[in-house]
Amino acid sequence: MYICLYLCVCDIFFFFFFFFFFLYIYIPNNL
């Protein structure tokens, strides 16, 4: 139970990290 919750939180954190990293790299190159 706790392990599943921990993995879900890490997965969401990783998703947002990757998303903001993509925005940080991709948008300035197109401006």
Domain that holds residue 4: 1-31
pLDDT tens figures, 16-25: 999 999 998 8
How big is the chain, counted in residues?
31
Domains contained in the chain, number: 1
As a whole number of angstroms, the distance between CA 28 and CA 24 comes to 7
pTM: 0.48
User: Would you state the pLDDT for residue 5?
Assistant: 73
3-state secondary structure 1-31: CHHHHHHHHHHHHHHHHHHHHHHHHHHHHHC
- Looking up tokens 């401006």 gives 31
